[in-house]
Amino acid sequence: MCGASLPAASADVLAQNRRVSTPFMIEKTQRDAGRAWDKFYKANEDRFFKNRHWTDREFEELRQNDHDLLTHDTPVLLEVGCGVGNTVFPLLEKNAQLRVHCCDFSPRAVDMVTKHPAHDAERVNAFVYDLVKDTSLSAHLAARPAWPAVSTLSLIFVLSAIPPHEQVRVVRALLDHIPTGASVVFRDYARGDLAQLRFHTRRDAPWAEPSLLSDSHHWYRRGDHTMAYFFTRDEVERLFAEAGGVAGSVEEVVRTDTNRKTGAIMERRFIQARFRRV
């Protein structure tokens, strides 16, 4: 199902429990984001996220037999916020020509990419990089001088981990590193997703620091101190328009799951977008 509006019941849930965290905690959460994700990977290793075998089904840009990754003799993907490679490795397996630059600010995650049984340094350039703080992306891409320019940039559940006031700058800096004609694929959490509703329904201890990080943005701190932002379709459209230099389409995708035990209907909501560098 695409583009469905938020049910009234979900809007009611989002109106509940809107206490905002203290300025000190908001600042600390941003400052310590890298450490929080690194701890996440220390605790979960590669067990938390499943391999994303769906990406080439959802994005023709990632299929071997469609234009982008085929018209280039050597297609090159830049996957940012790659984690332990759940997006990267299924694509490498399906497309023997593919080369991948991938980065994450968690050294543990990048280490797990390089130790993955399917890792091959001839095809994978994995490096530690903070999308908010670092500015040396060109140098990292130049570490594989024989590879052609990036043909596809992927942002899969990473922009939601970036503070809202940094998102346009981060996207603009990435777009500066891909040539005209390259494609951009994006998937991330949408407003009203089950994960967001849970922030408003769970009962924190009365003394606990609230997880909401803004009274004007749908931005939260999880229990493990990583951040999560929930986008609308219009926001993603505006964000990429403001970053500039791309044309494409943005849609909201809604998947309904039923809890087999309780019969409760759960809505997963995502924003999915495809652009081309112009």
- Binding footprint of ligand SAM on the chain (CB under 6 A): 33, 37, 49, 52, 81-83, 86-87, 104-106, 109, 129-132, 156-158, 161-162
Separation of alpha carbons 78 and 84, rounded Å: 14
Cα–Cα distance list, 163 to 19, 128, 223 (Å): 18, 19, 17
Cβ atoms of residues 230 and 192 within 8 Å? yes
Shortest Å distance, C-beta 129 to ligand SAM: 6
Nearer to ligand SAM by Cβ, of 3 and 107: the residue is 107
Nearer to ligand SAM by Cβ, of 134 and 209: the residue is 134
Shortest Å distance, C-beta 73 to ligand SAM: 26
Q: Which of 101, 92, 120, 251 is nearest to 182 (CA)?
A: 101
Nearer to ligand SAM by Cβ, of 155 and 212: the residue is 155
Q: Is the dihedral of CA 67, 73, 79, 83 positive or negative?
A: positive
Could you give the 3-state DSSP secondary structure of residue 187?
strand
Token pair 């407003």 is found at 191
Residues 6+ apart with CB under 8 A from 208: none
Shortest Å distance, C-beta 132 to ligand SAM: 4
Nearer to ligand SAM by Cβ, of 131 and 150: the residue is 131
Shortest Å distance, C-beta 50 to ligand SAM: 9
Separation of alpha carbons 265 and 33, rounded Å: 32
Shortest Å distance, C-beta 38 to ligand SAM: 8
Shortest Å distance, C-beta 232 to ligand SAM: 19
Nearer to ligand SAM by Cβ, of 61 and 104: the residue is 104
Nearer to ligand SAM by Cβ, of 31 and 260: the residue is 31
**Residue 256 pairs with which residues in a beta bridge?**
267
Secondary structure letter of residue 230 according to DSSP: -
- Tokens at 14, concatenated: 């989002």
**Residue 271 pairs with which residues in a beta bridge?**
188, 252
